[in-house]
């Protein structure tokens, strides 16, 4: 191994180091992609978060449930509630 030294092209450490560099580079790239996705979701205010457990899917509330919540919180009065309820019931 003239001129290449211990860490030369023909040594086992050189191949191992090349593999670890590739794995490290891949991990950094995946981390950057995940960071960008997280930042885009955070900035856009997206409500579509990933479910905590793999099988549970968060259900979206129905129009009637949203209307009931708004009425219960005092956001709309009884007349508005009845009018909107008639519209969504059609």
Confidence bin at 59 (pLDDT 50/70/90): confident
- Closest C-alpha among 7, 33, 32, 34 to residue 20: 7
| Extents of the domains making up the chain | 1-46, 59-90
Mean per-residue pLDDT of the chain:
80
Which of the listed ranges 3-7, 33-37, 83-87 does the model predict with the highest average pLDDT? 33-37
- Decide: 70 and 76 in contact? Cβ < 8 Å: yes
For position 11, what pLDDT does the model report?
Answer: 60
Confidence bin at 1 (pLDDT 50/70/90): very low
For position 5, what pLDDT does the model report?
Answer: 53
Q: What confidence tens digit (pLDDT) does each residue in 35-54 have?
A: 999 999 888 875 555 555 55
DSSP 58: P
What are the C-alpha distances in Å from 19 to residues 9, 28, 33, 39, 54?
A: 13, 14, 21, 30, 32
- Closest C-alpha among 10, 4, 29 to residue 21: 29
């Amino acid at each position: 191994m003239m001129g290449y030294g211990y860490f030369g092209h023909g040594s086992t450490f050189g191949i191992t180091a090349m593999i670890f560099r590739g794995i490290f580079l891949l991990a950094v790239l995946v981390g950057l992609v995940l960071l960008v996705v997280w930042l885009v979701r955070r900035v856009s205010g997206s409500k579509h978060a990933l479910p905590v457990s793999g099988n549970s899917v968060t259900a979206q509330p129905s129009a009637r449930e949203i209307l009931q919540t708004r009425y219960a919180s005092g956001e709309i009065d009884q007349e508005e509630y009845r009018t909107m309820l008639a519209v969504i019931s059609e």
